[in-house]
Amino acid sequence: METRASELQELGRELVRTSYLKGDFVLRSGRHSNRYFDKFLFETDPGLLRRLGRHMADLVPKETQRLAAPELGAVLLGGSVSMESGLPLVLVRKEPKGYGTAKQIEGRFEPGERVTVIEDVVTTGGDSLRSAQVLRDAGMQVIHLVVVLDRGEGGEENIRGAGIPYSPLFRVADLELD
C-alpha cells in the first residue's frame, strides 16, 4: 500500500513538472487565473498518460458498465482508462455533429447503462455537468465522475450538488506548486 501512495505522490510531482504553467490565463469558466494546468501537455505524454489511466481506473466503481469522455480534452484519458479497465467507452461531443450520423454521443451504448465520466481538469464543473446531462438525456445512468485534477474552485461542490459522486485523482491544494 505504501508503494501505491509513493507512486501516486511521484505522479503528482510529474503532473506539476509537465503541465503546470504560471502567467495570466482565462479559464473555460471565464475566470482569470495566474496558474494553469495544460491538460494537453500531460495527455500527450504516453508514459504519463498510461500511468494516469492506471490510477484513474482504480477510482472507477465496480458497477460501471461503460466509460464516457467529453471531447476534446478527456478523449485520450478516457481511452487510457478504457484500455486499463477493459470497459467500453463513449465520447461526448460538445454539440451534435452537423453531418453524417449527427450524433452527440459517439460509440455504442444501451439506455440504462451505468456510466462513469472521465475528465481532465475541473474548475467549476460546468462542462462535466453538461456532458453528464447529455448522457442522462440518452437514457444512461451517470454514477460517478473521475477527474485527474480538481482546481478547488467550486467544481466538486457543483458536481456533488447535482447528485454525482466525484473522485479527483489530485486536488490542486495537495500538489507541491512552486
- Structure pTM? 0.93
What phi and psi values does residue 11 have, to the nearest 5 degrees? -60, -40
Distance CA 130, CA 133 (A): 5
**pLDDT for the residue numbered 102:** 77
Walk along the chain (178 residues) and give the pLDDT tens digit of each residue.
458 888 999 999 999 999 999 999 987 778 888 989 999 999 999 999 999 999 999 999 999 999 999 998 899 999 999 999 999 999 999 888 777 777 899 999 999 999 999 999 999 999 999 999 999 999 999 999 999 999 998 999 999 999 999 999 999 998 988 7
Q: Which three cell numbers stand for residue 131?
A: 456532458
- Contact status, residue 92 vs residue 62, Cβ threshold 8 Å: no
At CA 75, angle to CA 32 and CA 60, rounded to 5?
Answer: 95
Q: How many CA atoms lie within 13 A of 37 on its CB side?
A: 24
- The pLDDT of residue 24 is 92
Q: 2-174 is classed in which CATH architecture?
A: 3-Layer(aba) Sandwich (3.40)
- The CA distance from 172 to 159, in Å, is 17
- Contact by Cβ (8 Å): 164, 64: no
